[in-house]
Amino acid sequence: MKNFRLLLLPFGFLYGVITAIRNLLFNLKIKEVYQIPVKSICVGNLSVGGTGKTPHVAYIAELLSPDNQLQILSRGYGRKTKGYFLLDENSTAENVGDEPLFYYNQFKNADVAVSESRKIGIQNLLKLKENQVIILDDAFQHRAVKAGLNILITDFNQPYFNDWMMPAGNLREWISGRKRADIVIVSKCHSNLSTETKAIYKQKLKFNPESIYFSEIKYGELKSFNSNSALSEAKKVLLVTGIANPFPLLNHLEENFEVELMQFPDHHAFSIDDIHKIHKKFDTFASENKVIVTTEKDYMRLQSDKFKSVIDQKPWFYQKITVKLDRELDFKTEITSYVRAI
């Protein structure tokens, strides 16, 4: 597969030229750029999917929510609707997307909205209140708007300096795009990452080392879909995922369980037929002490009323995660100093 993708390098070069021309038009102000008039933080990456943007957006929102009027704007990838929507208690993953629904459930005092056009989304959010802080989820390539602070996330296991342009690799633009960032976070690091490895990465990232941070996934509890499921005696897990990279979670669960992975595409729109297939697979397990586990993002799509009666027939759980950053105090200071600056 890797050798096949290398054959696509000429197409990747062509795609890179196109994105470079597009970026140049924005840099020269030939294409219009909307400067967000309030404090705003963009969290994005140079590659497609799987770098861990969602828990980092949640981390920043958790940091800022006690002292700020918070608003979160996402495209709402995977939703079946179009246009601007402000999330409310009737929102579902189908009409707003799984990530925005997660933010809405997690941060009850924040406004969460979706819009393909970030400019339209921002302008609608500005009508709701004043002196807010807007967090843009996955808008680094959305050059039509300019945030006050840009955070770029790259996966430790596939950093942007080891990647290629699409379709040969996963890069959306040349790695020179990193220059638009104010902060770089290397995500999904090992908990015992050495000082020497960090130094090597800092050199290869070609970015201000004082604004490079390393984060790791911290796994919380497994939470039941319903109160009828018990986890205490479980030994076997059917891991069901619809995310870009399920393997860190797979490795984590294998520390305590025998695990089998049932993988669906990223942002997969689950159907009743999918649930029946999952249950059929689950029923083939010989062990009586078994459960089904999924991610919290997938849970957003699976908690729909249309699935409830079927899912309640089996013991379903979802894995909560957060992130932990090295030099956490420095990172928090960098974020809060920007927000508080006049």
Question: pLDDT grade, residue 49 (50/70/90)?
Answer: confident
Q: Residue ranges per domain, the chain?
A: 2-218+324-340, 220-322
Residues 6+ apart with CB under 8 A from 170: 47, 48, 49, 158, 163, 164
Question: pLDDT grade, residue 333 (50/70/90)?
Answer: very high
* Cβ count within 10 A of residue 199: 11
Tell me if the bond preceding 10 is cis, omega within 30° of 0: no
Question: pLDDT grade, residue 3 (50/70/90)?
Answer: low
CATH 3.40.50.300 fits 2-218+324-340, yes or no: yes
Average of per-residue pLDDT across 155-176 = 94
The answer to whether 240 and 292 have CB atoms below 8 angstroms apart is yes
**CATH topology for the 220-322 domain:** Rossmann fold (3.40.50)
**Sheet order of strands, 149-155 included:** 85-86, 111-114, 69-74, 132-137, 39-44, 149-155, 183-187, 212-224, 316-325, 290-295, 236-241, 258-263
Scanning the structure block, which residue is given the tokens 């179009």? Answer: 82
193-250 pLDDT, tens digit each: 999 999 999 999 999 999 999 999 999 999 998 766 667 778 899 999 999 889 999 9
pLDDT of residue 1 exceeding 70: no
pLDDT at 88: 96
The answer to whether 11 and 168 have CB atoms below 8 angstroms apart is yes
Q: Is 258 helix (H, G, I), strand (E, B) or coil?
A: strand
75-95 pLDDT, tens digit each: 998 898 999 999 999 999 999
332: left (phi over 0), alpha (psi -120 to 50) or beta: alpha
Can 2-218+324-340 and 220-322 be said to share one CATH topology?
Answer: yes
* % of residues, the chain, pLDDT over 90: 83
Instruction: Please state at what angle helix 53-64 crosses helix 98-106, rounded to 10 degrees.
Output: 30
Q: Positive or negative, the Cα torsion across 133, 117, 299, 213? A: negative
Sort 228 into a burial class: Cβ within 10 Å, 0-12 / 13-18 / 19+: exposed
Instruction: Choose among 180, 175, 179, 184: nearest CA to 152.
Output: 184
pLDDT of residue 2 exceeding 60: no
N-term to C-term CA, the chain: 51
Q: Which of 1-5, 109-113, 122-126, 337-341 has the lowest mean pLDDT?
A: 1-5
Name the average pLDDT for the chain.
93
